[in-house]
């Protein structure tokens, strides 16, 4: 198989070739290595391609038999492998816990070949850290690849692997999916277990999943990673059929809520607004009924949900630093992280009760506002990928915490709210700017109803295909 052929296949397609005997898992690993060697020096997406990658295991005959895969350097852990969380504080850290997510990845046949970049602790929507540098967007290396699943997105769209691990606590799968032109699903709360040691972590805001190029890969990944484990705080309603089977089911007629006006502090760029309106037109032509929906939450209550969490985060970070025998200061934390840590440590009035009440109020208001609809249609991000040296840069010593928080409120009003409520939400690469940058459109489903998202995403992929688009930096293009 030629490298240019390898990069054209999605994960489902590569696994089919392995099962047919047309290519071996070892050959796919070697192709991933060639793709990495060709483009990663320009992208800085993969921080470690395992020296023993050609011998890593994965179940034969699984749904992703032999498919190359990377692990994000944050969240799900491989026992004994480095997991540095994009931070000098964790440099050289090797957890001894094997996550259920990693176990299921291996059982599906995925070969985990290395790890990808993240901003420090995944707290930023940008794609850089002091520890590992800037991850460039393959469409334009001067632009952000998005965060926090930065390297995962850049590796997938550039063709190093067809699918890669990501996690989402406030948009960290959907942001890079939107800016890199990928399919990025944040599943319902409880759909994918964080066990054995991180069930429902971060107040239930964070979920593990993948970034990929096609809806059928998204559906197959849902079948791979979904399901409860002992110790999970609750068991979400289980699907009636596999998600791959949903790809052949009728969508029916849906009630669609459309965000035609900006939510919160967002300033939606005209090209992004146009992409939302064009997608709405497509859905209407399919027979769905559309109704405009205003901002479904109170920004003040939304912010209240983070006040108490900052204090808890500071305490947890102190515990982790103490366990490793390390100090928290400017030599171990980046400027933004240090400011957030000091804010949380000194937050006298904030409490866990404040956080829980803010989260509860947001869940209630959003749930009540969107309950009449089967799905919502919103921008994923209000802007296309910004330059790497923008005011949102988490490593800049000159940006104040207030400036960064103000910028975050303008950038992410469509993201974190659905981490709080637990609704499944997917960014689809349905638009493209005049300059060639991807524009992601977000579809939000009812809680526990990934099945409808799979069907709607399939319909939109067929109506407005994106697989023919190619970024500037892509393996096998020479």
- pLDDT digits over 310-322, tens only? 888 898 999 999 9
Cα 64 to chain center, whole Å? 20
Question: Domain residue spans in the chain?
Answer: 3-463
Neighbours of 409 (CB within 10 A): 16
- pLDDT for 394 equals 81
Neighbours of 362 (CB within 10 A): 23
Whose tokens are 């176990």? That residue is 103
- pLDDT for 130 equals 97
- pLDDT for 349 equals 57
- pLDDT digits over 284-332, tens only? 999 999 999 999 999 888 888 776 688 888 989 999 999 999 999 999 9
Distance CA 357, CA 311 (A): 15
Query: Which parts of the chain have pLDDT scores under 50?
Result: none
- pLDDT for 399 equals 85
Q: What CATH architecture applies to the domain 3-463?
A: Alpha-Beta Complex (3.90)
Strand partners, 227: 192
- pLDDT for 299 equals 87
């Amino acid at each position: 198989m030629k490298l240019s052929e390898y990069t054209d296949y999605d994960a489902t397609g590569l696994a089919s070739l392995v099962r047919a005997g047309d290519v071996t898992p070892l050959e796919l690993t070697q192709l991933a290595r060639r793709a990495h060697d060709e483009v990663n020096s320009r992208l800085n997406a993969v921080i470690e391609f395992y020296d023993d990658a050609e011998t890593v295991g994965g179940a034969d005959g699984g749904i992703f038999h032999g498919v190359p895969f990377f692990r994000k350097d944050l969240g799900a852990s491989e026992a004994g492998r480095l997991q540095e969380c994009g931070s000098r504080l964790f440099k050289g850290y090797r957890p001894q816990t094997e996550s259920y997510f990693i176990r299921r990845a291996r059982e599906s046949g995925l070969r985990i070949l290395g790890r990808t970049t993240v901003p420090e602790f995944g707290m930023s929507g940008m794609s850089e850290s002091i520890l590992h540098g800037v991850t460039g967007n393959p469409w334009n290396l001067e632009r952000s690849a998005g965060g926090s699943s930065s390297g995962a997105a850049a590796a997938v769209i550039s063709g190093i692997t067809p699918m890669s691990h990501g996690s989402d606590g406030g948009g960290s799968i959907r942001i890079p999916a939107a800016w890199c032109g990928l399919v990025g699903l944040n599943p319902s709360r409880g759909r994918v277990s964080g066990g054995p040691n991180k069930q429902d972590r971060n107040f239930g805001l964070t979920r593990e999943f993948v970034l990929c190029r096609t809806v059928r890969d998204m559906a197959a990944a849902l079948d791979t990673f979904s399901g409860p484990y002992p110790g999970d705080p609750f068991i979400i309603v289980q699907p009636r059929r596999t998600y791959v089977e949903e790809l052949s089911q009728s969508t029916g007629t849906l009630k669609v809520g459309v965000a035609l006006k900006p939510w919160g502090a967002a300033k939606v760029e005209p090209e992004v607004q146009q992409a939302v309106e064009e997608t709405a037109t497509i859905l209407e032509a399919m027979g769905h009924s559309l109704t405009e929906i205003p901002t479904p939450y109170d920004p003040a209550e939304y912010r209240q949900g983070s006040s108490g969490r900052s204090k808890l985060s500071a305490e947890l970070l102190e515990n982790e630093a103490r366990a490793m025998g390390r100090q928290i200061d400017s030599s171990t934390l980046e400027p933004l992280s240090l400011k957030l840590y000091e804010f949380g440590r000194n937050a006298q009035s904030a409490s866990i009760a404040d956080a829980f009440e803010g989260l509860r109020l947001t869940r209630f208001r959003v749930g009540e506002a969107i309950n009449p609809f089967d799905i919502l249609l919103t921008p994923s991000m209000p802007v296309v990928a910004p330059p790497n040296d923008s005011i949102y840069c988490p490593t800049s010593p000159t940006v104040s915490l207030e400036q960064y928080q103000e910028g975050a409120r303008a950038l992410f009003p469509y993201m974190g709210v659905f981490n709080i409520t637990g609704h499944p939400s997917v960014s689809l690469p349905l638009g493209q700017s005049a300059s060639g940058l991807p524009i992601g459109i977000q579809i939000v489903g009812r809680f526990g109803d990934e099945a409808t998202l799979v069907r709607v995403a399939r319909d939109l992929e067929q109506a407005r295909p994106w697989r023919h688009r190619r970024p500037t930096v892509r393996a096998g293009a020479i």
